[in-house]
Amino acid sequence: MDLILFISFYLLFTLLITYLSYKKQISWLPTLIISLIFTPVAGFIRYQSVKPIKVYKEARYKCRRCNFYFTDYKEYCPNCEKEGHKIPLRKVYVDMT
Ligand SMILES: [Zn+2]
């Protein structure tokens, strides 16, 4: 009975730390593996020590014809304009790390 209780708590803390890692936006799979093998305490140490990767959005101007991204705003795609097509650029937000 005590063993079942111990395993239940073990798994509960493992899942809790895995969930915290997921919320912190760090890779949660190594946390899960570390917690299962080296106890949730080790998983918690990993959770505390790993810094999340900062993801931020940046505006880009995308051409829908050649799929090229431009950092500066232009009314028409310069690549396609050389080939005789006037393609207006569309503003998109891309994930930057
Ligand atoms: Zn283009």
Ligand 1 mean position to 9 CA, how many Å?
57
Spacing, Cα 91 to ligand 1 middle (Å)? 13
Bin 64: left if φ > 0, else alpha if -120 < ψ < 50, else beta: alpha
> Looking at residue 37, what is its pLDDT?
93
- In the reported structure, the alpha carbon of residue 75 is separated from the centroid of ligand 1 by a whole-number distance in angstroms of 11
pLDDT at 88: 94
Please give the Cα distance from 15 to 35 (Å, whole number). 9
In this prediction, residue 27 carries a pLDDT of: 87
Q: What is the pLDDT of residue 62?
A: 95
Note down pLDDT in tens along the chain; length 97 residues.
Answer: 789 999 999 999 999 999 999 988 888 899 999 999 999 999 999 988 988 877 788 899 999 999 999 999 989 999 999 999 999 999 999 887 7
Select from 87, 69, 67 the least CA-distant residue to 77.
Answer: 87
Using alpha carbons only, give the angle 67, 73, 78 rounded to the nearest 5 degrees: 55
From the CA of 62, how far away is ligand 1's center (Å)? 8
User: In the structure encoding, which two tokens stand for residue 91, read together?
Assistant: 């503003």
Scanning the structure block, which residue is given the tokens 């690549």?
79
